[in-house]
């Protein structure tokens, strides 16, 4: 699924995403989205820098500039991947509207896009799916995009098992 609307060290970014998910899971209003006995989830630690490099190489093949990892966008991607994993389905609206989530992250008036997917075991697999999908591909090739956040949350009791979110924004 797709929708349109300061770099940090990789370890710090990963820990920040995990801490955010744990904090959200502890909040009374959103805990049903991220944890529960019927849909247990787990955050998967990714090599976000490698993902950004792969997206940058793809963009370069189309005459576009590179993207860099953004810790705020990783947190936004982690939240949405977690919300989808908990629900066991893909939707840009499960964790709130994309526009409202981007505004909360401080990207309300910039170019932004979100790609979601489920089922792919690796980043390379999900990237290939997004490239093959016209809407997802269009999002990754928006010239205005400069920063990205990527996340995967597993939900082994669901049909798809793995839920991915890529959130991209302008400079």
Mean pLDDT by 10 residues, the chain (171 residues): 42 35 30 45 88 97 97 94 93 86 81 94 97 97 96 95 95 75
Q: What is the model's pLDDT at position 1?
A: 60
The answer to whether the beta carbons of residues 68 and 7 sit under 8 Å apart is yes
CA distance 136 to 141: 9
Q: Where does the chain have alpha helices with state H?
A: 10-26, 31-34, 48-61, 71-87, 98-104, 123-132, 134-140
Q: Which token pair is 145?
A: 């995009």
Distance CA(23)–CA(35), nearest Å, equals: 12
C-alpha–C-alpha distance, residues 168 and 139, integer Å:
8
pTM greater than 0.85: no
- Beta carbons of 92 and 108 less than 8 angstroms apart: no
Q: How long a stretch of residues is the chain? A: 171
């Amino acid at each position: 699924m797709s929708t349109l609307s300061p770099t940090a060290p990789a370890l710090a970014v990963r820990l920040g995403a995990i801490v955010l998910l744990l904090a959200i899971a502890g909040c009374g209003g959103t805990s049903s989205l991220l944890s529960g006995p019927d849909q247990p989830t787990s955050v998967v630690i990714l090599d976000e820098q490698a993902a950004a490099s792969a997206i940058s190489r793809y963009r370069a093949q189309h005459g576009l500039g590179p993207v860099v990892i953004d810790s705020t966008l990783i947190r936004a991607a982690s939240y949405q991947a977690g919300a989808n994993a908990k629900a066991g389905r893909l939707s840009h609206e499960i964790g709130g509207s994309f526009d409202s989530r981007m505004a909360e992250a401080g990207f309300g008036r910039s170019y932004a896009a979100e790609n979601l997917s489920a089922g792919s075991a690796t980043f390379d697999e999900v990237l290939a799916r997004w490239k093959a999908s016209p809407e997802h591909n269009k999002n990754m090739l928006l010239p205005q995009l400069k920063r990205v956040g990527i996340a995967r949350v597993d939900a082994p009791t669901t049909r798809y098992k793995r839920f991915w979110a890529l959130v991209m924004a302008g400079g």
